[in-house]
Amino acid sequence: MGMTMTQKILAAHAGLDSVKAGQLIRAKLDMVLGNDVTTPVAINEFEAKGFDKIFDKDKISIVLDHFTPNKDIKSAEHCKQCREFAESMEVTNFYDVGEMGVEHALLPEKGLVAPGEAIIGADSHTCTYGAVGAFSTGVGSTDMAAGMASGEAWFKVPAALKFNLTGKPGKWVCGKDIILHIIGMIGVDGALYKSMEFTGDGLKYLSMDDRLCMANMAIEAGGKNGIFEVDDICREYLKDRVDRPYTVYTADEDAEYESVYDIDLSEIKMTVAFPHLPENTRTIDEVGEVKIDQCVIGSCTNGRIEDLRNAAKVFDGKHVAKGVRALIIPATQKIYAQAMHEGLFDIFLSAGCVISTPTCGPCLGGHMGILAKGERAVSTSNRNFVGRMGHPESEVYLASPAVAAASAVKGYIASPEEI
């Protein structure tokens, strides 16, 4: 029996000719990632076990993004601990205020992840890097500590689901709508500890920003990882970012999948996930009139330049509805500068939006946009669990940047076609 893309990457990193679903392996790592929330715990474990050096200073990334710029004394102490550790261990890829961005936008942008690589991160959305054909998955801080010391990690080889994408998405339909459609179809446990592998002729209509968003949300279906076939669009994205050799793996024709889903992208409509699970989806024509108090456009899911451009198309010449707060959060410093130079900031500011430095802040109810009791937000982030963005009696609705922007203008969840 042949192997999937994920299984081939894991076999190569375990030094094995082949692996099969359910097999336990020990694999070498190309990158170990942590942020300002998870890295302090990993540092404590690292030191408690008596480790005094890291396996490779170039293969560890520490990004201060969740509560940064620091929102309080505790977050300042966490960041200070990360800074001191990074300095003492001479970590090459350490990103602080002024250089940082939302971690899962920053690492691909800087070419720190590439096809065929094996990556772990102490953040559940580390599966983002499957967009470039890597095996990438979230782990706990203890595994991060062990990875930093040894450069290896244990894995159970995941079974796989195949998503064969065909057709061309309609106007305003983007990667966020597609992945919400898929999660709504299979459920939040539909890919539990499985690899979600994306292929098909429809890939040619998906930008890298679409793919990064979709791979990011594999975890919201319970996936161990999400991974895309590497094509010319991906190679072009990597061309000026990755200057080291990498290996592209393709699935064998006889690779075993637990299920195969054929999805015609032309049939997918703009989609919104209602509280309090990403699987609770409705198409835009099924939403009804849901009044909102806040709109957040950003996060590791939808804070990239294409996302901001789509939002700006909707906001251009319009204004945020009275009583609605609209937050725009570019995911990295580079995206921030690009959006500013393209004139997108002028559109956002004229529309009555506020623009933040790169941060995860409101996505996890950290800062810069926490919700009060009874408030509703439409957000381009990836989770809408109870209390995710603040008070446990607030509500979060997940949507694309275009839908979020239209909702901010109308004051209720709306299609950009209504604007």
Is-contact 318 391, C-beta < 8 A? no
Residue 221: what pLDDT? 96
**Those residues with Cβ within 8 angstroms of residue 42's Cβ, 6 or more apart along the chain or in another chain:** 34, 122, 141, 142, 144, 145, 148
Residue 365: the pLDDT is: 85
pTM, two decimal places: 0.94
How would you label 178-202 residue by residue, b for 16+ Cβ within 10 Å and e otherwise? bbbbbbbebebebbeebbbbbbbeb
Low-confidence stretches of the chain (pLDDT beneath 70): none
Query: What digits encode the pLDDT tens for the residues 320-378?
Result: 999 999 999 999 999 999 999 999 999 999 999 999 999 998 888 888 899 999 999 99
Return the pLDDT at 373.
Answer: 96
Residue 209 has a pLDDT of 97
Position 366 scores a pLDDT of: 86
What is the pLDDT at residue 144?
Answer: 97
% residues pLDDT > 70 (the chain): 100
Cis-peptide, bond into residue 276, ω within 30° of zero: yes
Domains and CATH numbers, the chain: 5-264 (3.30.499.10), 271-418 (3.30.499.10)
Residue type, 240: D
User: 3-class DSSP state for residue 392?
Assistant: coil
Instruction: Give CA–CA dist 247/318, Å, rounded.
Output: 47
Whole-number Å distance between alpha carbons of 153 and 111: 22
Phi, psi of 213 (to 5 degrees): -65, -45
N-term to C-term CA, the chain: 52
Coil, strand or helix at 33: strand
DSSP state of 370: P
Return the pLDDT at 79.
95
pLDDT score, position 175: 97
Rounded CA separation 334/361 (Å): 18
Q: Give the C-alpha separation, 97 to 82, whole Å.
A: 13
* 267 Cβ contact list (under 8 Å, min separation 6): 167
How would you label 56-70 residue by residue, b for 16+ Cβ within 10 Å and e otherwise?
Answer: eeebbbbbbbbbbbb
